[in-house]
């Protein structure tokens, strides 16, 4: 099955980001395809490379980077949501790009299911 994943919440204010990450890992381990991960609204904070979580806390930014690199997943942050929250090109995690809602529309067409977290 092909999944498109949308994340609407930031990494440390609730469980949405962690749940999305765990869902993607589980889906991949079962042989499913992740068409794209699209960060929208406060979800774009997940790709901000300026954040430095404490050493004793999980580093969700590193998790998303590793996931994208290891599995070749297209990771996109909404440009309008990014601009509103000060997330800019050059300040995003490796393997991520900033683009418009067309990417969200495209992934929903390509996927069998859209799963939204947050």
pLDDT tens-digit map of 77-108: 999 999 999 999 999 999 999 999 999 999 99
pLDDT, the chain, mean:
96
In the predicted structure, residue 53 carries a pLDDT above the cut 90: no
Rounded distance, CA 92 to CA 65, Å? 10
Domain 2-117 fold? Hypothetical Protein Ychn; Chain: A, (3.40.1260)
Instruction: Give me the pLDDT at residue 51, please.
Output: 85
CA-nearest of 10, 3, 2 to 118 is: 10
Whether 111 shows a pLDDT value over 90: the answer reads: yes
Whether residue 34 is predicted with pLDDT greater than 90 in this model: the reply is yes
For residue 101, the tally of other CB atoms under 10 A from its CB is 14
* pLDDT of 112: 98
Name the token pair of 101: 């809602």
- In the annotation, is 78 catalytic? yes
Q: Which of 16, 77, 78, 81 is catalytic?
A: 78
The full set of domain ranges for the chain reads 2-117
CA distance 77 to 42: 10
Per-residue pLDDT at 6 exceeds 90: yes
């Amino acid at each position: 099955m092909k999944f498109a994943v949308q994340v609407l919440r930031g990494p440390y204010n609730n469980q949405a980001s962690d749940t999305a990450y765990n869902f993607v890992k589980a889906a991949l381990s079962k042989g499913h395809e992740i068409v794209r991960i699209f960060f929208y609204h406060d979800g774009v904070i997940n790709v901000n490379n300026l954040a430095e979580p404490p050493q004793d806390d999980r580093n969700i930014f590193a998790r998303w980077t590793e996931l994208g690199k290891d599995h070749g997943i297209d990771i996109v942050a909404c440009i309008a949501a990014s601009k509103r929250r000060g997330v800019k090109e050059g300040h995003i995690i490796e393997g991520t790009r900033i683009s418009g809602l067309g990417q969200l529309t495209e992934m929903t067409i390509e996927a069998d299911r859209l799963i939204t977290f947050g």
